[in-house]
Structure formats: C-alpha cells, structure tokens
Structure 1
Amino acid sequence: MMDYLPIFILLALLALNVQVAFAIGIAAISFFLFSGEMPMQIFVQRFVASTQSFPLLAVPFFILTGAIMNEAGITQRMLKLAETLTGHMTGGLGQVNVMLSTLLSGMSGSANADTAMQSKLLVPEMVKQGYDKGFSAALTASSSVIAVIIPPAIGLVLYGFLGNVSIKDLFMAGIVPGLLLAVAMMITVNIISRRRGYLPSRATPASWGERWRAFKGAWLALLIPVGIIGGIRFGLFTPTEAGAMAVVYTTIVGLIYGEFTRSSFVTVVKDTVLATAGIMLIICAANALGFYMSWVGIPAKAASLLIGISENPIVILLLLNLLLLVVGMFIEGTALLILLTPILVPVVLQLGVDPVHFGIIMVLNLTMGGITPPLGTLMFVACTITGVSIGKFIKEAIPFIATLLAVLMLLTFVPQISLWLPGLG
C-alpha cells in the first residue's frame, strides 16, 4: 500500500483543486519522506535534472516565437491571407477562422495562444456579420487544436523528451494529421453554415492578384514553419536549434514589418517567462514523480494490466483513448502529457505500437480535453474573452467535438496517416 501512497496523495490534491505543479511535487516528495529507501537529496537531484535538458530548450524558444509573432503584426497579415483564400466559401468567416488556425499553428505551437488571439481578433468580426457568438467562440477554441499537431508543437516536444522519442519524427508525423483536422473542421463549418444561413464574407472569390498581394504581405512569416520543418527534415539543425532560429527570424520579420517595438519586447519577454516557468515547474515535479514510478515499477505493472485485458494493439489504443478523454476533462492537457508519457510509452512499446504514432494520438486527445467541461482551458479562455456562457459554449462545441473524435479514431485505426512522412526519411 505504501508503494501507492504518492498516487493517492496526488489524486486527493487534484480533487482539492491544488495547482497541478504543487500537487505533483508534494506527491513526489511524499515518497522520499515516507519510503525510508531514498535520501531526500535524490528528490532534489531529480527535480533539478530536467532543467539541464538541451531538447527542452525548444519549449521557451517556441513560446517566445509565438509571443513575438503576436506583437509583430504577423497575425493581421495571416488573417488577410486566410480571408482571400476562404472568405468566398459558405460560412466565410468560419472558414477563415479554421484557415487562420492552420496558418498560425506552424508558428505559435500553442492552442491556448491561438484561442486567445483569435477570440480577440476574429470573434467580434464574426458576430458583426451575424454569426452566433457561442458558435464563433466554440469554433475558435476547437480549430485551435490544430496548433498542437502541426509543428512546431510544444506538446510534441514535451512528449518526445519525456518518452525518449525522436522530436524530428514527431514533427514530420504531425503535418498530415494537422491538415486532415483542418479539412474536417472546414467541412463541419460548411454543414452548419448551410443550415443556419451563414453567408460568405465576400460575394465572389478573391482575384489571383488580390491573393498574390496578400501572400506578398505574409510570405516572410510563412517561411517560419517552412524553415523549421525543412531545416529539421534535411538535418540542418535539431528541433532545439530550430526554435532558436525561429526566434531570430521572427524578430527580424517583426522589425521589417515595423511593428515590433521596444515596448513590445517587454511584453514578449514577460509572457514568455511566465509561460515557460509554469511548464518547467510541472516538468521538474513530474520528473521526480517519474523516478518514484519507475522505482516501484508502475509502468511495468500498467503494461501487464492492459495486456491482461487484451494483446490487440487496437483494443489497447481504444482503451487508452477512452482513459485520456476522461482524465483530460478534469486535468489540463500539458500537465497530463508530462505526467502520463513516462507511464504509457513503455506500455505501447511492449505492445508493438509505434511511439511516434501514439504521440500524435496522445497529444491530440489530451488537447481535446481543453474544449470539454468541467475544466477545459481552451473553453475558459474563449468564454472569458468573448463573454459567452459555459453552457452556450458547450452546446455549440458538440459538432466540433464530434469532428475531432472522428479524426482521432481515424488516426488510431490508420497509423500510416501519421507515419507516412517520417517513413520517407
């Protein structure tokens, strides 16, 4: 029973709504206090060890890239490009919403950042043009899920580091599923818009000349994801070095656009430090908890338990999907990713499931929890900024959740969707 005391403590603290980082840290330190097997110095060593990781430097770099992008005028240029590409479609601004999420996902890597950005930028304009505010908020949060799949996705960096999986392969694996998500979301918007009479934002498609002018205004920013993916794919730099290059390049683009000022720099640094500190505190605490789990053999026991249910990888993946969907409704996705990756990766490896394939499934699954009650972070961000009630948001989000679930199942049953591009290397 003592072996599982930290788990009980963790669950109790989470139930009491203690901050996730502190809940994990207290649970971890309880093992060292009560087991009598380990000196307290080991806890400190394991807690600090994560800060020495070179791959984890990619996290603050990509957070900084997204923060600079928000202050450098890139978002407005991407919005104009997205509007020229999809504004003529049924549900024009809804389609623009999805397209903008897809374009920005290759830069920010954060669903929360995309949700906040578009809730301020696009939702008011959608409401002016007759779109239901609840629909607009739900679509904004749901389409932001694309950001966690298309590189550079911070969730994929964390999964790769914690699961000892190639971040390069994870980045390549996320491209096709991310585009598939975008197409599925656009189809859903089209169906809903036809039923509700949401009209295009422009009467006719933009001319190729107008699209070209919009592209010229945004092409420098569009090179960010191209450079990241291309550089990693051809071995010019590692994902961490790609993050550093993205910071330098985004800063240069912001200066060229003339919208990245000294005051913007202060805001960018503040936002990056706060976001990085929150993530790193959870990672450090989870590293200490992971040491405890490995010491008492929890990953091996979890694998044996699941294999005892079935040795069919598809059945196990479906069970894991169900588990992740349920726990993702109550705990923030990044925290769960950090906590569960060291436990679940050995399980899927023992079953012969490709860890890259499972990484795409796991990151998408946990991020979907951000738009579901009771504790969805994307839901809270969208509702807080737009003023939409939680009940209204949930009602409008149901078709988008169904769409995301359908894509999740497709990725689960057809691993080649994720593994095709990594396999080319």
Structure 2
Amino acid sequence: MISALIFILFVLFMMLKIPVAVAIGLATYIPFVIGGFDLISIPQQMATSTQSIPLLAIPFFLLAGVLFNNLGLTGKIFNFSRSIAGWITGGLAHTIIIAECILSGCSGTALSDAVGLGTVGIKAMKDEGYEVSFSAAVTICAAMLGPIIPPSVMMVIYAILANVSLAKLFLAGLLPGVVIAGVLMGQIYWMAKSKRITCPAPTSFSFRQVLRTLKDGVAALLAPAIIIYGMVGGIVTPTEAGILACFYSLVIGIVYRTLTLKGMKDALVETVIGTALIMYIIAISSAMGWLITMEGTPMLLADWLSAISVNKWVILTLINIFLLMLGCLMETLPAMLITVPMFLPLLQRLQVDPIHFGLIMIFNLLIGMITPPMGIGLYVMVAITGVPFEQIVKACFPFLVCLLISLALITYIPWITMVLPNLLMK
C-alpha cells in the first residue's frame, strides 16, 4: 500500500511539473507521515547512502565530460570520425555514432554528450543538407552510448546499489556499446540507400585526411584508451580513472591552448551543480527505497513474478516491458535508484547475473530518453535545434525500433555482456 502511494504521488508531482528532486522528497515524506514511521530515518538514510568511496567518481567523470566539450576536444574527435566515415552513404550521420563511441570513453553521461555533439554535429549535418529533425534524432540516439560505454555515471550508481564490481560492469558495457552502434549505423545506411532521408553523396576516402585529423586530435583520441586500459590493467581504480580523465583533459587543454580561466571556472560550476543534483537524488531516493523495502515490496514483487513463470527469460521480458514503461514516465536516475533494490531478490532467485542485468536496466531506462511523455533527451534536442517536439519524435521512431532490437540482443544473449568481464577479470 505504501509503495503504491509513493508511486502515485511521484507521478502526480511530476505531472504538476514539480522538479524531480523535490517530487521524490515529497513522495517520500508524505508516506513516512501516513505510515507512522520515524522521520529521523529520512536524514539517516540520506547520510548513509552518500558515504561511499565509489561515488567520488561521479564529479570527476562529470568534470572530464564538461572539459572535453568546453576545450573544443569534441570537435577534434568529430573531425577524425568524419574522416573515417565520410565515404559511407549517410556519412555524417555515421560520423555522429563513431564520435560518440570515442567520446563515451571520456565522459559518462548521455545529455552532456548530446549537447557537446549536437553543437558540432547538427550544424555540420545541416550545412550538408540533412534535415535538422533527422540530425537531432541521430544525435540523441547516439548519446545513449555515453552511459553504456565506460566510464559511466549510471554504472557507478548501479554498482553501488547492486554491490557488484564497477570494473567488471565497465567492461561489460564495451561490447553492447559496439552492438548498439552497429545497429544504429545499419539503420542509417538503409535509410540513406533507400532515399528515406536527404543526404549528400558520400565523399571519397582519403587516407591523407585520416592522418591529418589523427595528428590534430591524437591527444584527445588517446584519452579513452588510457582510461579504459588503466582500469582493465588494474593500474587505477574507477574513482582514480575519473581523476585521471580530469587531469588528462587539463593537460590536453594546455597542449592545444584552449584552456582558459573562464573556461575552467564554467566547467567547475557546471560540475558542482550537476554533482549536487545527482547526490541529492541519490540521498533522497535511498530514503524512498528504504521505505519500500521495509514494507516488503521487493519480496512481494519476486513472489508475484515467480507465480507468473519460473522461466527467467519470461521474467526478464516482463521486467523489460515494465522498465520501458517506467522510462517513459521517470528520469533514468531516480527510476534506477528506486527499482534496483526491488529487483535484486528476484535476480538472486532466478540466478541472473547482476552485471548482465545492470546493462539491461540502464539501456531500458535510456530508451526512455527518446520516448514521450518524459523523453528528456527530446526536449534537449528541441532546445538545441528549435525544431518542434513532434518532428523530433517522428524522426526518432525508426531508431527506437533499432534500439529495441539491440535491447533484445543484450537481454537474450548474455554472452555479449559477460564475455569481456569473464575473459579479462577472472
């Protein structure tokens, strides 16, 4: 009963356009009072939830992503990606996907990547004759790779909630990220070949241009390799990798002479604001999760789903449907903070690897970024491009189908997720 009240109140507050952090707090406080729980439990749970060393990685990865955008490094990555993908039909759209794969190795959030790539990529695509709505759709769908390909802020939070190895979770995201990128590029190629989109003729491949853009952006391109190799090789912890990403970004800014005091100040301010919001949502959501757990909802959910079927693939299908619907109504972070504790007992009963499920959950909720009515990624693209919301939704639909296909592959072929963690971190 309490859990149902929490969900109803949260949805109601979101419909009233109350900020998500405040909505979570109110949806937690009211059931606490009605249920007769001791209110001192709220600040206790909030304080306890933020006393975790791995959470230190969040501000560092956020800062690294902001620095990459502010220092002009995203543009260098885009130019290199364009040199290796420009010869393919629909070349600039492929460039966005490849650039995001590289950029994901430096940042850890989808929306910051969408803003960074959108500023550079959408303008370039518009100049080449692509429809702006299509360019926006490609950009926001590509930005989903940010939290899938390590490092990832969402993975940091999931690893803490599920008590799993963050390094293994980072490795688990590499191959699914490649699969998602491949499916998106396949869709772009088909749309370009079948004339469903307006795009210029592909340019001829120039090895000289590849070398030139590689030379110009080699320092920026090395960043993902250094960060990921450092974690896989056991040289640095994920938290230390965040520090390394920030330090390396600053060094690159000095080398390219794009680092300024104003730029540094703006990056720090943006990081502080983003970190404060994330940490508050984590803290208040932990109080909500504690209340849901105290009522016994996770075990009730496990019993209910087990009564429907004992086949784990059927259960995972039902969970996928639930998470996709939830992602349409809630932002990714609070949705994950609330649902992970609810599903963990069920995962243990079904013997589903929590690392595999972590990728399933994160990708499910990311799809909500391009799905109305919440669809926060859609609103970001509206703000960047000025294109009406309905046009961007329509342009995203073909890619939504591709993302659902990718989700099915990741869900029903665990090997895609688990091969690298099992191979490299036995």
TM-score range, shorter chain: over 0.9
What's the CA shift for 1:202? 5.3
CA distance in 1, matches of 2:386, 2:92: 19
Tell me, yes or no, if the aligned pair for 1:66 and 1:108 is still in contact at 8 Å: yes
What's the CA shift for 1:325? 0.8
**More divergent stretch after superposition (189-198 vs 266-275):** 189-198
Tell me, yes or no, if the aligned pair for 2:128 and 2:200 is still in contact at 8 Å: no
**1:277 aligned residue:** 276
Amino acid at match of 1:373: P
**1:14 aligned residue:** 14
**More divergent stretch after superposition (11-20 vs 91-100):** 11-20
Tell me, yes or no, if the aligned pair for 2:2 and 2:292 is still in contact at 8 Å: no
**2:331 aligned residue:** 332
**1:374 aligned residue:** 373
CA distance in 1, matches of 2:369, 2:20: 15
**1:409 aligned residue:** 408
Identity of aligned residues (%): 36
Amino acid at match of 1:170: L
**1:216 aligned residue:** 215
1:112 aligns with 2:111: yes
Tell me, yes or no, if the aligned pair for 2:130 and 2:199 is still in contact at 8 Å: no
**1:95 aligned residue:** 94
Deviations 1:219-254 (A, max 9, x none): 222222222221221222221111111111111111
TM-score by length of 1: 0.95
Gaps of 5+ in 2: none
Amino acid at match of 2:417: S
**1:227 aligned residue:** 226
Tell me, yes or no, if the aligned pair for 2:105 and 2:228 is still in contact at 8 Å: no
What's the CA shift for 1:329? 1.0
CA distance in 1, matches of 2:5, 2:148: 35
CA distance in 2, matches of 1:192, 1:3: 45
> Given the superposition, is the C-alpha separation of residues 215 and 2 from structure 1 closer, same or farther in structure 2, using an over 3 Å criterion?
closer
CA distance in 2, matches of 1:402, 1:240: 35
CA distance in 2, matches of 1:181, 1:359: 16
CA distance in 1, matches of 2:133, 2:3: 47
Instruction: Determine helix, strand or coil for the equivalent of 1:396.
Output: helix
**2:27 aligned residue:** 27
CA distance in 2, matches of 1:281, 1:338: 12
What's the CA shift for 1:30? 3.1
Quote the RMSD (CA, aligned, Å): 1.7
Deviations 1:133-174 (A, max 9, x none): 111111111111111110011111111111212111110000
CA distance in 1, matches of 2:3, 2:402: 41
Gaps of 5+ in 1: none
CA distance in 1, matches of 2:242, 2:3: 40
> Given the superposition, is the C-alpha separation of residues 420 and 34 from structure 1 closer, same or farther in structure 2, using an over 3 Å criterion?
same
Amino acid at match of 1:83: R
Amino acid at match of 2:405: A
Tell me, yes or no, if the aligned pair for 2:89 and 2:202 is still in contact at 8 Å: no
Deviations 1:298-320 (A, max 9, x none): 11111111111111111111111
What's the CA shift for 1:333? 1.4
> Given the superposition, is the C-alpha separation of residues 301 and 211 from structure 1 closer, same or farther in structure 2, using an over 3 Å criterion?
same
TM-score by length of 2: 0.95
Tell me, yes or no, if the aligned pair for 2:65 and 2:113 is still in contact at 8 Å: no
**1:354 aligned residue:** 353
